[in-house]
């Protein structure tokens, strides 16, 4: 089967930890053909179908992780240096051609955030490809309907005290009630733009002005959850089922953010009873909407985000537990295509 990955440029992949790469390794091992393009390559013209200039690729056998080992053993710097400086890329191009998306076996939308206007437009092109017969994962309409910060509002029984507003007075009242709060933009990723304001309220006004741009943009405010010290857990849902282990992103030093992009340390752990409760409640609901792969963010007892655009963590969990998460994903993909 041909699998088309719509993703960022292959040349910038960090293969030692990239989840899309882990998917490709597993798919190739099963004999699937790998195609790749970027969202900018998608196009449609009246009288035709949604198509793209795609590269068929083959994995080089000695690329980091090509043997199934995705190193997260403290040698990230060495892996990253190798990814950047090696003479050959981790793949070779077999062919380049213009293809209608509906003529491929499946399309996997794996473009990393931010969910900006161009991402939004890409989901509409992918939606048109669906109407033409393409099988797209995650479904384009589901990507649009589940903004990663706001999707939690549907499940208030699992979230911490939360406020979504443009109004500075409402933020100040929320701080007055909860005393220790987190503020974040709705379009941030990787921990970008997250602020903590403690009981003294220091710089609250300035932070609100920065985030809401004097009332022009909506922000999310949540009660600070001290359990962040134990990690911001990424719980993976695949095909409507929870993966048995999560990746706890643990803040380092004085940092309040656990995101790996913000310097957090990733530690694989078995799901807690609360993790399972949240996962088992959400998994069938989200799967029924066409979300084959979801990453729930859980801090302590609380759900904080529902990630649907390009969830990660396969490589780290596999390296630390031996659990082949990529195989679970390809199993679910193959089942969905039957």
Q: Residue 251 falls within a domain, yes or no?
A: yes
Q: Are residues 218 and 313 in the same domain?
A: no
Q: Residue 194 falls within a domain, yes or no?
A: yes
Decide: 9 and 39 in contact? Cβ < 8 Å: no
Task: Count up the domains in the chain and report the number.
Answer: 3
**pLDDT (tens digit per residue) in 144-176:** 999 999 999 999 999 999 999 999 999 999 999
End-to-end CA distance of the chain: 12
Q: 295 is in which domain, residue-wise?
A: 227-337
Q: Are residues 62 and 166 in the same domain?
A: no
Structure tokens at 327: 């195989």
Q: Cα angle at 207 between 217 and 182, to 5 degrees?
A: 90
CATH number of the domain enclosing 39: 3.40.50.20
Q: Of the candidates 237, 224, 275, 268, which has an alpha carbon nearest to the alpha carbon of residue 250? A: 268
Band of residue 192 on the pLDDT scale cut at 50, 70, 90: confident
The answer, yes or no, to whether residue 49 has pLDDT greater than 70, is: yes
Catalytic residues: 149, 184, 234, 249, 257, 297, 305, 307
The answer, yes or no, to whether residue 84 has pLDDT greater than 60, is: no
48 versus 70: the higher-pLDDT residue is: 48
State residue 73's pLDDT score: 38
CATH number of the domain enclosing 210: 3.30.1490.20
State residue 66's pLDDT score: 45
The answer, yes or no, to whether residue 215 has pLDDT greater than 50, is: yes
What kind and span of H or E run contains 293?
strand 293-299
Mean pLDDT of the chain: 91
Q: What is the mean pLDDT of residues 9-25?
A: 97
216 Cα distance to chain centroid: 27
Q: Residue 288 falls within a domain, yes or no?
A: yes
State residue 251's pLDDT score: 86
State residue 191's pLDDT score: 74
Q: Are residues 237 and 136 in the same domain?
A: no
Q: In this structure, what are the phi and psi dihedrals at residue 201, rounded to the nearest 5 degrees?
A: 70, 15
The answer, yes or no, to whether residue 86 has pLDDT greater than 70, is: no
**CA-to-CA dists, residue 165 to 162, 168, 181, 190, angstroms:** 10, 8, 14, 22
Q: Residue 155 falls within a domain, yes or no?
A: no
The answer, yes or no, to whether residue 5 has pLDDT greater than 60, is: yes
Decide: 208 and 183 in contact? Cβ < 8 Å: yes
The answer, yes or no, to whether residue 259 has pLDDT greater than 60, is: yes
Decide: 311 and 291 in contact? Cβ < 8 Å: no
Task: Determine the Cα–Cα distance for residues 127 and 270; give it in Å rounded to an integer.
Answer: 36
**pLDDT (tens digit per residue) in 305-315:** 999 999 999 99
**pLDDT (tens digit per residue) in 274-327:** 999 999 999 999 999 999 999 999 999 999 999 999 999 999 999 999 999 999
Residue 322 half-sphere exposure toward CB, CA atoms < 13 A: 0
State residue 258's pLDDT score: 63
3-state secondary structure of 246: strand
Of 80, 110, 140, which closes a domain? 140
The answer, yes or no, to whether residue 70 has pLDDT greater than 70, is: no
Task: Determine the Cα–Cα distance for residues 217 and 215; give it in Å rounded to an integer.
Answer: 6
The answer, yes or no, to whether residue 68 has pLDDT greater than 60, is: no
């Amino acid at each position: 089967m041909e699998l088309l990955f719509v993703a960022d440029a292959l040349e910038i992949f960090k293969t030692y930890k990239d989840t899309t790469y882990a998917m490709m390794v597993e798919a190739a091992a099963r004999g699937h053909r790998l195609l790749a393009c970027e969202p900018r390559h998608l196009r449609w013209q009246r009288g035709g179908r949604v198509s793209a200039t795609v590269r068929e690729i083959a994995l080089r056998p000695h690329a980091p992780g090509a043997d199934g080992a995705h190193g997260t053993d403290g040698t990230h710097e060495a892996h990253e240096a190798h990814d950047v400086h090696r003479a050959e890329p981790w793949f070779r191009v077999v062919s380049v051609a213009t293809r209608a998306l509906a003529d491929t076996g499946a399309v996997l939308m794996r473009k990393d955030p931010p969910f900006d206007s161009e991402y939004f437009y890409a989901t509409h092109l992918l939606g048109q490809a669906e109407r033409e017969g393409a099988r797209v994962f995650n479904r384009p309409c589901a990507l649009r309907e589940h903004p990663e910060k706001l999707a939690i509002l549907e499940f208030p029984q699992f979230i911490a005290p939360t406020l979504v507003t443009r109004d500075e007075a409402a933020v100040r009242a929320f701080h007055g009630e909860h005393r220790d709060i987190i503020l974040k933009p709705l379009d941030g990723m990787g921990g970008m733009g997250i602020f903590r304001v403690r009981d003294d309220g220091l710089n609250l006004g300035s932070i609100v002005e920065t985030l809401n741009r004097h009332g022009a943009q909506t922000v999310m405010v949540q009660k600070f959850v001290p359990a962040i010290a134990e990690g911001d857990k990424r719980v993976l849902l695949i095909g409507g089922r929870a993966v048995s282990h999560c990746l706890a992103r643990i803040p380092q030093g004085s940092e309040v953010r656990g995101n790996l992009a913000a310097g957090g340390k990733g530690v694989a752990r078995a799901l807690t009873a609360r993790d399972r409760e949240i996962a088992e409640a959400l998994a069938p609901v989200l799967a029924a909407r066409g979300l084959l792969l979801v990453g729930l963010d859980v801090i302590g007892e609380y759900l904080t985000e529902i990630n649907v655009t390009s969830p990660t963590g396969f490589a780290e969990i596999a390296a630390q537990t031996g659990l082949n998460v990529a195989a679970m994903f390809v199993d679910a993909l193959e089942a969905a295509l039957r």
